[in-house]
């Protein structure tokens, strides 16, 4: 593959940014729940379970599909290879932090708030790092077809039932402009399906409520 000359068509990162913003929104809800002693309520537990699931899907597909394509594209560039290694290391750091929050929640530990704040800081730092360095690199060296392959792998990993949760989760508490931008990047029927089927089901689960 020709490095730094993938073509003139730009990759649309709208779904990636929307996913990151959904994680940030849930992290804020998680911190608020920890600070007010509501972590053990059914709604917060449901929101936390979905947060963990969405994070696992997002990072596992990046590790399996996106980073290997990027590694192939920059195989002779040590600085870029180091960046990808940093992305993978940051992913690996998150699993123990998630487990610690689960442990503290299970035992109603007084350190729960501290662990939640650490998780939030580490994940937010990782997402900013990815947005500031990895996405610009992807834009330079990968083709839209590479990104389409990553998105297709993500859709397969979610499956229809996963998409029925992912779409309204992304659109939970967004602005009208953000909703329009995200749905414009999705297949045309998604907006209608979300309004009629996905969103009502999602709201009945009362996540974070």
CATH code of the domain in which 123 resides: 1.20.120.520
In a domain, 180, yes or no: no
> Is 174 inside a domain boundary?
no
**Does a structural domain hold residue 99?**
yes
Q: What is the pLDDT of residue 2?
A: 41
pLDDT digits (tens, 9 = 90+) for 120-174: 999 999 999 999 999 999 999 999 999 999 999 999 999 999 999 999 999 999 9
At residue 39, the pLDDT reads 87
Beta strands in the chain (DSSP E): none
pTM over 0.85: yes
Q: What is the pLDDT of residue 8?
A: 65
Residue 146 and residue 69 in contact, taking contact as beta carbons nearer than 8 Å: yes
In a domain, 104, yes or no: yes
Q: Contact at 8 Å (CB) between 158 and 198? A: no
- Is 140 a member of any domain? yes
**pLDDT in the model for residue 40:** 86
Residue 85 lies in a domain: yes
- Any domain includes 184: no
- Distance, in Å, from the CA atom of 99 to the CA atom of 101, rounded to the nearest integer, reads 5
Residue 153 domain-assigned?
yes
Residues of the chain where predicted confidence (pLDDT) is lower than 50: 1-3
* Domain total of the chain: 1
Domain that holds residue 33: 14-161
């Amino acid at each position: 593959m020709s490095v730094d000359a993938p073509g003139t068509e730009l990759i649309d990162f709208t779904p990636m940014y929307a996913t990151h913003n959904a994680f940030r929104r849930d992290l804020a809800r998680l911190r608020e729940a920890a600070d007010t002693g509501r972590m053990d309520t059914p709604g917060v537990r449901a929101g936390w379970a979905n947060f963990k699931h969405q994070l696992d899907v997002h990072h596992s597909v990046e590790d399996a599909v996106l980073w290997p394509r990027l590694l192939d594209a920059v195989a002779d560039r040590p600085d870029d290879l180091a960046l990808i290694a940093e992305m993978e290391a940051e992913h690996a750091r998150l699993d123990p932090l998630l487990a610690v929050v689960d442990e503290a929640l299970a035992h109603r530990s007084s350190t729960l708030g501290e662990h939640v704040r650490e998780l939030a800081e580490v994940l937010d730092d990782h997402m900013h790092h990815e947005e500031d360095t990895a996405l610009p690199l992807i834009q330079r060296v990968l083709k839209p077809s590479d990104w389409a392959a990553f998105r297709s792998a993500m859709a397969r990993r979610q499956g229809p039932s996963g998409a029925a949760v992912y779409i309204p989760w992304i659109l939970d508490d967004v602005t009208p402009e953000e909703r329009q931008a995200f749905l414009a990047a999705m297949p045309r029927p998604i907006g209608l399906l979300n309004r009629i089927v996905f969103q009502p089901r999602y709201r009945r689960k009362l996540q974070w409520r």
